[in-house]
């Protein structure tokens, strides 16, 4: 496999700005457990092994139940997610895989029944952030688990 660039080292200022933007999305109206679900689902859809690994470990550290983690990929068929979580997962999917015709009105209205206007905006920024990280880590093939110690993810006990 061809060695890829280290985008954090090559462009540290932009990396820091993306990290700051991403961190800012964690200090919003979207609660941490929901943020974890969003990060995992977007990372699954984008095929980002590094981010999927990282966010499953974070969710584990945050106390998420293992069975729910296994069900995220099949959330529509699972009875383990609340209507609010389902709305957020649906929004994550449509914002990650934007259809040619844009966000359907039906989905937008469903999300509005579960989230406030501020929460929809905050969720949108959170999805934007994880999609940016997914794209960088997929492009440069960042190795899953390679930063566990640096990020404290070894505490998850999932090595």
Asked, for residue 5, whether it belongs to a domain, the answer is: no
Element (H, E) at 134: helix 117-139
Could you report the per-residue pLDDT of 15-72, keeping only the tens digit for each? Answer: 999 999 999 999 999 999 999 999 999 999 999 999 999 999 999 999 999 999 999 9
Cβ burial of 23 (10 Å; 0-12, 13-18, 19+) is exposed
Asked, for residue 68, whether it belongs to a domain, the answer is: yes
Give the residue from 56, 52, 45, 22 showing the smallest Cα distance to 156: 56
CATH number at residue 124: 1.20.1290.10
pTM of structure: 0.95
Looking at the 3D structure of the chain, how many domains does it have? 1
Asked, for residue 108, whether it belongs to a domain, the answer is: yes
Asked, for residue 31, whether it belongs to a domain, the answer is: yes
Could you report the per-residue pLDDT of 62-114, keeping only the tens digit for each? Answer: 999 999 999 999 999 999 999 999 999 999 999 999 999 999 999 999 999 99
Asked, for residue 103, whether it belongs to a domain, the answer is: yes
Structural domain that includes position 113: 15-143
């Amino acid at each position: 496999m061809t060695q890829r660039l280290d985008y954090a080292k090559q462009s540290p200022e932009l990396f820091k700005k993306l990290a700051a933007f991403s961190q800012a999305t964690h200090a919003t109206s979207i609660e941490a457990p929901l943020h974890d679900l969003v990060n995992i689902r977007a990372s699954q859809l984008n095929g980002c092994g590094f981010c999927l690994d990282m966010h499953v470990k974070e969710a584990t550290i945050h106390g998420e139940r293992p069975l729910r983690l296994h069900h995220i990929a099949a959330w529509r068929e699972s009875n383990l997610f609340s209507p609010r979580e389902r709305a957020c997962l649906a929004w994550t999917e449509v914002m990650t895989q934007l259809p040619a015709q844009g966000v359907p009105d039906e989905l937008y209205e469903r999300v509005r029944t579960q989230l406030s206007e501020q929460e929809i905006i905050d969720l949108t920024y959170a999805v934007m952030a994880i999609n940016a990280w997914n794209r960088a880590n997929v492009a440069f093939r960042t190795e899953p688990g390679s930063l566990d110690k640096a990020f404290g993810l070894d505490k998850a006990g999932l090595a």
